[in-house]
Amino acid sequence: MTSSTSTAQGGVPAIEFKDVVKRFGDNVVLDQLNFSVAKGDRVTLIGPSGSGKTTILRLLMTLEEANGGLILIDGDPYTHEYKGDRWVEIPEKRRRVVRNRVGMVFQQFNLFPNMTVLENIIEAPVNVLGLKKADAVARAEQLLEQVGMSEKRDFKTNQLSGGQQQRVAIARALAMDPEILLLDEVTSALDPEIVADVLGVLREIAETTDITMLLVTHEMQFAREVSNRVLMFDKGQIVEEADPETMFTHPKHERTQEFLKAVLG
Amino acid sequence: MTSSTSTAQGGVPAIEFKDVVKRFGDNVVLDQLNFSVAKGDRVTLIGPSGSGKTTILRLLMTLEEANGGLILIDGDPYTHEYKGDRWVEIPEKRRRVVRNRVGMVFQQFNLFPNMTVLENIIEAPVNVLGLKKADAVARAEQLLEQVGMSEKRDFKTNQLSGGQQQRVAIARALAMDPEILLLDEVTSALDPEIVADVLGVLREIAETTDITMLLVTHEMQFAREVSNRVLMFDKGQIVEEADPETMFTHPKHERTQEFLKAVLG
Amino acid sequence: SSVDEGSGDGDGGKLASLQESGTVNVAFNGEKPYSYQDDNGELTGATVALDEKIFGELGIDTVEGTLTEWNSLIPGLTAGRYDAVSAGMSILPDRCAQAAFAEPTIMYTTAFLVPEGNPDNLTDWQSLEESDVKLAVTSGAIEDGYAQETDVETITVGSSQDGLDAVVSGRADAFALTGISLRALAEGTDEAVEATDAFVATINGVPQIGAGAEVFNPADTELLAAYNEKLAPILDDPAQWLEIMGPFGFTEAEMPPEGLTAEMLCEGDLEKIATELGLDS
Amino acid sequence: MTENGIWNWEHAWEVLPDLLEGLVVTIEATVVGMAIASILGLFIALAMRSPSRWVTIPLRFVVDFIRMTPLLVQLVFVWLLFSTIPTLVVGFTVLGVHYATYMSEVYRAGIEAVPKGQWEAATALNLPKSRTWRAVILPQAVRNTLPGLGNYAISMFKETPFLFAISVVEMYTKAQQYGALTFSYIEPLTLVGLLFLLVSYPTSLLVRRMEIRLA
Amino acid sequence: MSDFLQTLTSRLPSLGDAILVTLELTLGGAVLAMALALLLGFGARTRSLWVRGPSRVFIEFFRGTSLVVQIFWIFYVLPVFGFKMEALAVGIVALGLNFGAYGAEVVRGSVASVPASQWEATIALNMSWFHRVRRVIFPQAWALMIPMLTNLLIQLLKGSALAYYITLHDVNFWTTQLRRATSETVYSFTAGLLVYFVIAYLLTWGMNALEERAKRRLGRGTRPSLRDVVGLRPAVGTAAITGRGTAA
Ligand SMILES: Nc1ncnc2c1ncn2[C@@H]1O[C@H](COP(=O)(O)OP(=O)(O)OP(=O)(O)O)[C@@H](O)[C@H]1O
Ligand SMILES: Nc1ncnc2c1ncn2[C@@H]1O[C@H](COP(=O)(O)OP(=O)(O)OP(=O)(O)O)[C@@H](O)[C@H]1O
Ligand SMILES: [Mg+2]
Ligand SMILES: [Mg+2]
């Protein structure tokens, strides 16, 4: 219901959801959701468990298929389009062109255990973007430097701690030079002390690049520091939308107040 | 180094570690650790990842074997004892007698998936304590009531959410009427909103029983509310020890300050 | 091993092509003394000797063999994996519909392999029926049929060696097989067994005339006719037959009586055959 | 095979009753064999967990030997060496023991797949070892094992023809016998194939069903 | 016994040929089976019914009807339709088809037990399907499937004993002939049994080495002790277990 087709900056939004519907069986998770994210925006999604936050990111990564509506990246239809009045899937071939603009970091890192740290990072740049291997390695080393993992370059991924794995996963996503970076609770599988570490890396990326970021997190402190917009979800709908300061200090909606109370304790 | 054989209340301590050594291969995790917990005490262990907190609980549950020293429960040697000057294992038969006084709740719940909720709870009282089945069921129902899970009595455990599973796991441990309850990060596998729920249950138990509790948690708020003593661990040693208020507001040791800063943000 | 020679597409081209190549490939089951490999791996045996003679006269000088399982002999012939089966296979009415038999070359009698001393005193089929021995028979052999008709208790074995093992181990009291094979079997082993004298089994009052022959693919009619033509003089001349078969232990008793034809056996009226040949007892 | 084409329905009908009779033996052998395999396999898997090398090393050797040598030979050996034991008993037992060696591996994997946390929970509840096995570990392990069990049943089903080596006549041998007597092999053997399929396919469906249910 | 030894010795040269035939069948069959297993195993996982349907039919058919019957058809019936292959080729094809169908279930099961999150990571990195499988999924599934493939390989080796049925002279045939020549069932079979055991042992040994290598690639190497390498325990990967396609 409460739809939010906001963004001021003008120009084509980086991400746009138009009437997106997603069902799992009878369970309607997203019901005609509308929202958009402008280029360079850092948007945090918050909301209770099961409200559909992860689903939004997964739709953007084509890990799930929508049941209706349009998802546009830079104005280009991505997963489906309307041909006349028929809603049709866009073939994988065309999707792949658009998908290059989107990167994702997972809660469980999902590194490839059969490759070393370096191999994890250069695999896609070499084989998907067609970079020369030497160039990919150079870029990977630069990224490893940035996330503080240079000395683990040739380790197998399961020799790393969770925090280290997550830092490599971030480097791997960045190696594809995405315009949009999706982050789903990237710290919640980590030890509390290490969380700060990974968040530091992300904060630096947010400060030094102009990548559009869409992130789901329970670290309200982090959301506050990094994002310029917070969307509160409940039952697949945007309940409230504000800049972080306002959202965390003066939530308007009752559901938001309740939620923040439970999470912030 | 810093050893702490404290406790004022007099009488035999519920738990006593004397010069306990634990190694994994070359990695010395606990090096001559000494500490004790008085009856009815609620002690929280905090400390960075890898400092040996879980190892202490696992030693107390005989899930690991110590490499040296004595562990006493109510003054009784539990896992090993000195015969003359030889350090010998206590046979399983004698251990079992002592072990009945100790219960444990795990981070990952570890419910038995082949049993219903009720069966999970009465399994040990019937087969270990030799309770009559009817009595065990009556007690189990009372406990399920207490943790708010009465209506899930006959569900299979995999039909429950994480928070519900953890509440059943708590009831299961309590059904054995332990004198000592060990809790290892019992909320860290749960969704943030649900954490409060489980902590509430534990708070109630702390208030209404006089079970000795030894808990590891990253929920400082909870540690503050429930425990009357906090031990800060680092590298298998107790670095600092205080009541929660003092510990969280005026940590003395530098390592503690650092740690609390990272965790509390 | 097998060669892609025979093709079964018959209508007479087969004989010519065999003559041209000078080689015929026959399948055999490795059973002494019919057709088997000697210690040097050479193909030999009574039916092989006969084949060599007959095919030689047809201008086919080399007889090659394909050693295969009993149950593969006929499917392989049908599939054109070889040109004929040289294993002294019994001519039975049912079989005649599926394969073309040449004229009979060996008469079959039956015998028993028994523990040394013949504890059950088995001499012929009647003595067997009267005793309560457990008889081993080879799967699909005629003795299996006899046993079923006379309600003799049997166990079925896969090969003559299996039959021997069954008797030695006490799993069976006796093993029924053609006299010729049994003799070879008893001679080849050190075990404490012996073969009884061969006899013509009389089942329900009818003497069981059995005879074996070369088998051809039904499509190769010309080859069959040519084979039969060269076989006839040998069958007519006991001396010549014995000269060929004798070295492998065959005696005149195993020579088919005059007048016995594949056609008669294919019809399968044993009573009639017995009468015609004057064999009924 | 002859003038009247390759397939003769008369032969097919004629041999079918024999084959069905043989199918009964085949199924009996599979059921009994599988019962032995699944129980003995479990005991082997349990014994292999023994801490004593005096148990595990010889057992490992015997199990490997049985697993790696042909069933046929094992059948014949036992049949000849223990000639007082009834043939069917030998056949079913050897079949069962042979497959028990395969099954033991499935069980081992099934037991190892029970999460360590289950053992720890049992210790924390102070359950005795025997009760832990019976009430906690085995129920979970066996459930893990069911699909494997089904697959081996299908495979055992098709190895029953080896029983003929010790004179047990089942479906395949019946077909060969009919072929030997009539020289008609195609009909009986094809029917054998179809009958195998007729029993295997539902079993396989069942197995995949369980696989989905337990996934 | 001494007679037996004499005959045995005189037949040893032909044992070499027999072993060669058995190895040709086993290895040829295994290569074909593996190729088919991959094709069908992935085929049975596709979303397209046009690929999945035929794959499943093929798998069920060749698992469901037995190896002997398949060999019979290929060797003895197909020629009637004018389709004739060399005996060795028939043996390899039949073993390949039959065990390929079993193997397909192993492949399918192992691929299914590679965590879905790994597929998701490859999508997030925008890899093509073939690239995903070749570089990420298969290397992980491979470590899981080897133990079950080892079992299949042993069964295939034993299945190759049907060679005699199609006129090939393999180890089984050699054993049968030895038995006929000597009338010594127990000794002859023992000889054959040992030959099979040695071959199976060597194959298992090789497969264990492969498994070790695959695991080390995943950083799960157990640094093989001598006993691991020599021992024959087909260390079934636990996730692979339980017959998700455990073949045979
Ligand atoms: N694969 C699936 N099959 C069926 N239902 C699903 C599936 N994935 C998600 N759902 C359902 O969709 C709803 C939204 O799930 P989603 O994971 O997007 O929530 P979320 O907001 O990310 O929650 P959390 O904070 O717990 O991660 C939930 O009700 C969930 O049960
Ligand atoms: N089974 C094991 N084998 C080898 N080393 C182990 C094992 N279990 C624990 N360790 C090591 O022992 C040390 C202490 O581990 P422990 O789990 O007790 O730490 P912890 O304080 O509970 O940490 P966390 O907060 O991450 O749970 C760590 O260095 C760990 O790597
Ligand atoms: Mg989520
Ligand atoms: Mg811990």
At D109-128, the pLDDT tens digits run 889 889 999 999 999 999 99
Q: Which uninterrupted H or E stretch holds D111? A: helix D87-112
Would you state the pLDDT for residue E103?
94
Dihedral sign for Cα A22, A28, A33, A36, please: negative
* ipTM value: 0.83
Compute the C-alpha angle C144/C146/C152, nearest 5°: 80
Q: Which one of B21, B26, B27, B183 would you pick to mutate in the ligand 2 pocket, going by the greatest count of ligand atoms within 8 A of its CB? A: B27
Give me the residue from D112, D197, D207 closest to E238, CB to CB.
Answer: D112
- Closest residue by CA, ligand 1 atom 25: A49
* Phi, psi of A102, deg, nearest 5: -115, 135
Ligand 1 atom showing the smallest separation from residue A218 Cα: 25
On whether the CB atoms of residues B41 and B14 are closer than 8 A, the answer is yes
Cα of A23 to ligand 1 centre, how many Å?
A: 10
- Total residue count of chain D as it appears in this document: 215
> Looking at the DSSP assignment, which residues form a beta bridge with residue C24?
C63
Residues 137-166 of D with CB under 8 A from B: 139-140, 143
On whether the CB atoms of residues C164 and C181 are closer than 8 A, the answer is no
CA distances from A222 to A201, A216, A230, B72, D44 (A): 12, 11, 12, 44, 55
Name the pTM for this structure.
Answer: 0.85
Please state the rounded mean pLDDT for residues B24-30: 91
Share of chain D above pLDDT 70, in %: 97
Cα–Cα distance measured from residue B233 to residue B240, given in angstroms and rounded to the nearest whole number: 7
Using a CB-CB cut-off of 8 Å, the residues of chain E touching C79 are: 75-80, 84
pLDDT digit string, tens, across residues B135-187: 999 999 999 999 999 999 999 998 898 889 999 999 999 999 999 999 999 98
Confidence of residue E219 (pLDDT cuts 50, 70, 90): confident
Domain assignment of residue E152, yes or no? yes
pLDDT greater than 80 at residue C40: no
Give me the residue from C1, C37, C189 closest to E167, CB to CB.
Answer: C1
Would you state the pLDDT for residue E80?
85
Cα–Cα distance measured from residue A146 to residue B109, given in angstroms and rounded to the nearest whole number: 38
> Mean pLDDT lowest for which of A251-255, B32-36, E233-237?
E233-237
Would you state the pLDDT for residue D215?
60
Q: Which residue has the higher pLDDT, B58 or E240?
A: B58
Would you state the pLDDT for residue E245?
35
Residue B127 CB partners (closer than 8 Å, separation 6+): D127, D128, D131, D135
Would you state the pLDDT for residue C279?
65
pLDDT digit string, tens, across residues E86-127: 999 999 999 999 999 999 989 998 998 899 999 999 999 999
**Ramachandran sector of residue C8 (left: φ over 0; alpha: ψ -120 to 50; beta: rest):** left
Cα–Cα distance measured from residue A182 to residue A69, given in angstroms and rounded to the nearest whole number: 20
All domains of chain D in start order, with CATH:
9-214 (1.10.3720.10)
Cα of B54 to ligand 2 centre, how many Å?
A: 7
Q: Exposed, middle or buried, C202 (CB in 10 Å: 0-12/13-18/19+)? A: middle
From first to last of its 265 residues, chain A has per-residue pLDDT tens of 334 444 445 589 999 999 999 999 999 999 999 999 999 999 999 988 888 999 999 999 999 999 999 999 999 999 999 998 899 999 999 999 999 999 999 998 999 999 999 999 999 999 999 999 999 999 999 999 999 999 999 999 988 888 899 999 999 999 999 999 999 999 888 887 788 888 888 999 999 999 999 999 888 888 888 899 999 999 888 999 999 999 988 999 999 998 888 777 6
Domain assignment of residue E182, yes or no? no
**Considering chain D, what is the average pLDDT of its residues?**
89
- Closest residue by CA, ligand 2 atom 26: B49
Q: Exposed, middle or buried, E50 (CB in 10 Å: 0-12/13-18/19+)? A: exposed
* Phi, psi of E59, deg, nearest 5: -60, -50
Would you state the pLDDT for residue C41?
78
Give me the residue from A102, A158, A173 closest to E219, CB to CB.
Answer: A158
Ligand nearest to the CA of A23: 1
Query: Cβ E193–D69 below 8 Å, yes or no?
Result: yes
Report the domain count for chain E.
1
CATH code (residue E144): 1.10.3720.10
Cα–Cα distance measured from residue E7 to residue E10, given in angstroms and rounded to the nearest whole number: 5
Using a CB-CB cut-off of 8 Å, the residues of chain C touching E77 are: 75, 79
- Closest residue by CA, ligand 2 atom 18: B52
Tokens of A1: 């219901």
Cα–Cα distance measured from residue B220 to residue B242, given in angstroms and rounded to the nearest whole number: 14
Would you state the pLDDT for residue A258?
87
Which residues are within 5 Å of ligand 3 (an ion), measured at CB? A 54
Cα–Cα distance measured from residue A250 to residue E170, given in angstroms and rounded to the nearest whole number: 85
**Distance between start and end Cα atoms, chain C:** 47
- Closest residue by CA, ligand 1 atom 16: A52
Would you state the pLDDT for residue B187?
86
Ligand 2 atom showing the smallest separation from residue B48 Cα: 25
Would you state the pLDDT for residue A5?
44
pLDDT greater than 70 at residue D10: yes
User: Of A113, A40, A27, whose CA–CA distance to A74 is shortest?
Assistant: A40
Give me the residue from D6, D69, D113 closest to E196, CB to CB.
Answer: D69
Would you state the pLDDT for residue D92?
95
**Considering chain E, what is the average pLDDT of its residues?**
86
pLDDT digit string, tens, across residues D45-58: 999 998 899 999 99
Cα–Cα distance measured from residue D141 to residue D113, given in angstroms and rounded to the nearest whole number: 7
Confidence of residue C12 (pLDDT cuts 50, 70, 90): low
Please give the DSSP secondary-structure letter assigned to residue A85: T
Cα of B49 to ligand 2 centre, how many Å?
A: 8
Cα–Cα distance measured from residue C92 to residue D95, given in angstroms and rounded to the nearest whole number: 36
Domain assignment of residue E48, yes or no? yes
Cα of B52 to ligand 2 centre, how many Å?
A: 6
Using a CB-CB cut-off of 8 Å, the residues of chain A touching B194 are: 49
Q: Which one of A27, A183, A233, A255 would you pick to mutate in the ligand 1 pocket, going by the greatest count of ligand atoms within 8 A of its CB? A: A27
Domain assignment of residue E185, yes or no? no
pLDDT greater than 60 at residue C258: yes
Q: How many residue pairs bridge chain A and chain E with CB atoms within 8 Å of each other?
A: 69
Q: Which residue has the higher pLDDT, B189 or C92?
A: C92
> Mean pLDDT lowest for which of B1-5, B174-178, C248-252, E188-192?
B1-5
Q: Which uninterrupted H or E stretch holds A87? A: strand A86-89
One-letter identity of residue E63: R
Domain assignment of residue E235, yes or no? no
Displacement of CA E236 from its chain's centroid (Å): 16
User: Of C1, C13, C44, whose CA–CA distance to C248 is shortest?
Assistant: C44
Would you state the pLDDT for residue E222?
53
CA distances from E82 to C80, C208, D86, D189, E195 (A): 10, 40, 47, 20, 37
Cα of A206 to ligand 3 centre, how many Å?
A: 22
Minimal Cα–Cα distance from C258 to chain E, Å?
35
pLDDT greater than 70 at residue D25: yes
The domain of E71 spans 14-168+205-217
Minimal Cα–Cα distance from B159 to chain D, Å?
14
Pocket lining: A52 vs ligand 1, CB cutoff 6 Å: yes
User: Of C99, C141, C134, C98, whose CA–CA distance to C119 is shortest?
Assistant: C134
pLDDT digit string, tens, across residues E122-163: 999 999 999 999 999 999 999 889 988 998 999 999 999 988
Residue identified by tokens 């009468």 is C275
Domain assignment of residue E241, yes or no? no
pLDDT digit string, tens, across residues B195-239: 888 888 899 999 999 999 999 988 888 888 889 999 999 988 899
Pocket lining: A236 vs ligand 1, CB cutoff 6 Å: no
pLDDT greater than 90 at residue C142: no
Domain assignment of residue E83, yes or no? yes
Neighbours of B99 (CB within 10 A): 23
On whether the CB atoms of residues C191 and E183 are closer than 8 A, the answer is yes
Domain assignment of residue E115, yes or no? yes
> Mean pLDDT lowest for which of A1-10, A115-124, B71-80, C270-279?
A1-10
Q: A with B: 3 or more CB pairs under 8 Å?
A: yes
Please state the rounded mean pLDDT for residues C220-233: 93
Would you state the pLDDT for residue A4?
44
Cα–Cα distance measured from residue A46 to residue A25, given in angstroms and rounded to the nearest whole number: 24
Would you state the pLDDT for residue A265?
62
Tokens of B36: 């004790």
**What residues are in contact with ligand 2 under a 6 Å CB criterion?**
A 191; B 24, 27, 29, 47, 49-55
